[in-house]
A and B are shown apart, each in its own frame.
Chain A
Amino acid sequence: MDELKNKLEELKDLAGKNNLDINKSLSEIEAMLNVGKNSPTWEKVQLARRLDRPGALEFINLICDEFIELHGDRYFKDDPALIGGIGTIDGQAITFIGNQKGSNLKENLYRNYGMGGPEGYRKALRLAKQAEKFHRPIVTLIDTSGAYPGPEAEARGIGEAIAQNLKHFSLLKVPIICFVIGEGGSGGALGIGVGDKLYMLENSIYSVISPEGFASILLRDSNKAKEAADIMKMTAKDLFEFGIIHGIIPEAPGGVQNDPAYTANMIKELILSNIAVLKKKKPESLIRYRSRKIREIGQFTENAGKEQDLFGLFSRLFS
């Protein structure tokens, strides 16, 4: 990197001395160098959004021996932006639910760029309840820029649909393991993101708003998305340090698209090892642990310093 910079300075000198008009391309190279240097987060944002990044269905097919997709919310329609079904790993049945983007324009139009509507979230809940009925663990694969912010979604209650998922997933009596595989965008991600374990791929992101949104609202300049990305603490490493996720799953050099099977295999191992442990827990203690984990997330001070005995409260409520 330093070598490149020295070369750049040399070239600038030369250009100046010889009165050459290469300043434009030189400053472009300089800008490119600065992107890598100043915003490693922005690189991840771009990797997480790549069209050729493997999506939920691609991972499911790599992880499962067999998989059948199940469609529809039973109320209104099937939402291709949010997929689900039953898969097997080593003969063990597991319910999979995931946000699904497309890998080209045509697919993205069909999948609404992975932005689920109320139907998608209601389908997810239907499949989750179905899994609970048959004591089947649930795996969710998160990859969306957010829930669909359109008038139809509003009219059919996208807020209510996500809220119901948050509520019901928190008390499901089966293990739930969540993976952020690409973009973890706000409520649309959290809508299938409440579970016992949460992992993120190395180059995935998870945040309350997009860097573009953060930039335009808080930095008052929608062009400052890169700067926003650095401020927002949205990488796997950030969330691990916050204690919000349980682990970071490595990707091939240059991104998971270079070797999806490598990462899929690690996801598969994590699913199996976690299920083995979580399956032994009684449903009550599974839920108590999950609730406690959710309850503990927050950063505030309390002057009085009194700590409520909330764990005791949970034990009592669930006895």
Chain B
Amino acid sequence: MVDLKKPYAQVAETECPRCLTVMTQEAMIEHYQVCRGCGYHFRMPAAARIHLIADEGSFTEMDQDLVSKNPLSLEGYEDKISEAQKKSDLSDAVVTGTAKIDGRECVLGVMSFQFMGGSMGSVVGEKITRAMLHGADTNKPVIIFTASGGARMQEGIFSLMQMAKTANAAALLDDLGIPFFIVLTHPTTGGVTASFAMLGDVAIAEPGALIGFAGPRVIEGTINKKLPAGFQSAEFQQEKGFVDKIVPRKELKKTLSFLLRTHTGA
């Protein structure tokens, strides 16, 4: 279960990998885990995301006790999951629930890259699908923050099929006129990109986030040369037409609030 009382990990100081600015924990929290020197957006734990976006005390988690099976009977997979659970306080790589943003109700899903690279297996696919269906059932807009290396290979064909499952749920939201907003955060690749992440009515991205289907190393392997700097960045994806708007983290809540306001009646 996600612990909102401790949204930030205890780290005394953090050094920016891009400009080497060193920030204290207080400064990191004050600046939304964004580098004060250059605007680099650090990865954010799911709890911190919710803390940042949802009105205080408004988040109610759902489906927190889903745990993946081991369909390939892969040695050590269960251990890997329980290790990730202990490290992250999450049952799997996504937290879902209902929340309010500036007083407006929504269904909120936040993926966690810290949990096995945010990979999507049966549990992630099921929870995201249920979150969307809950939005459909209760007529609430659905907002999902993505962060994923793609499908979870350890679950074989079941992980691939979660792409179809989440896309099917997105189709239902279309059919019923339920707003579906996606916030692409660093990194979003593979099976998540090729399913629900690209199906939002509005696609927002954080500055500098890597967004793509094949990972950069795979593409470089295909063409046998280096990719230009910025390839598959949020800015690149906006230029190519796959991202509506790049929103710095400190303005995210305001932007989501605007979207909820303009998409809910009365």
User: Do A and B interact?
Assistant: yes
- The chain A residues found within 8 Å of chain B, CB to CB, are 147-151, 153-160, 162-164, 166-168, 170-171, 186-187, 190-191, 193-194, 206-209, 213-214, 217-218, 231-234, 238-239, 242, 244, 291, 294-295, 297-304, 308, 310, 313, 316-317
Set of chain A residues within 8 Å of B82, measured between Cβ atoms: none
Cβ-based interface call for B20 (8 A): no
- Chain A: which residue is nearest B161 at the CB level? A297
Set of chain B residues within 8 Å of A214, measured between Cβ atoms: 153
The contact of A300 among B68, B170, B190, by CB within 8 Å, is: B68
Set of chain B residues within 8 Å of A190, measured between Cβ atoms: 160-161, 163-164
CB distance from B256 to the nearest CB of A (A): 22
Verify B199–A164 contact, CB threshold 8 A: yes
Verify A151–B198 contact, CB threshold 8 A: no
CB distance from A8 to the nearest CB of B (A): 31
Count the A-B residue pairs with Cβ separation under 8 angstroms: how many?
190
For the complex, give the distance between the alpha carbons of A310 and B132 in Å.
12
Verify B66–A163 contact, CB threshold 8 A: no
Verify A158–B194 contact, CB threshold 8 A: yes
- Chain A: which residue is nearest B160 at the CB level? A208
Cβ-based interface call for B40 (8 A): no
CB distance from B214 to the nearest CB of A (A): 3
Verify A300–B242 contact, CB threshold 8 A: no
Set of chain A residues within 8 Å of B168, measured between Cβ atoms: 166-167, 170-171, 194, 291, 294-295
Verify A231–B74 contact, CB threshold 8 A: yes
- Chain B: which residue is nearest A163 at the CB level? B198
Set of chain A residues within 8 Å of B223, measured between Cβ atoms: 150-151
Given A291-B168, A298-B126, A303-B67, CB of A208 within 8 Å of CB of B151: yes
The digit string for B67-91, where 1 denotes a CB below 8 A from any CB of A, is 1110110100000000000000000
Verify A295–B165 contact, CB threshold 8 A: yes
CB distance from B60 to the nearest CB of A (A): 15
Cβ-based interface call for B98 (8 A): no
The contact of B171 among A159, A160, A171, by CB within 8 Å, is: A171
The contact of A170 among B156, B171, B198, by CB within 8 Å, is: B171
Set of chain A residues within 8 Å of B227, measured between Cβ atoms: 151
| Pairs A–B under 8 Å by Cβ, sample size 18 | A149-B214, A149-B221, A153-B214, A154-B232, A159-B212, A160-B193, A190-B163, A194-B164, A208-B191, A209-B151, A232-B156, A294-B165, A295-B129, A297-B164, A300-B126, A301-B67, A302-B67, A310-B133
Cβ-based interface call for B196 (8 A): yes
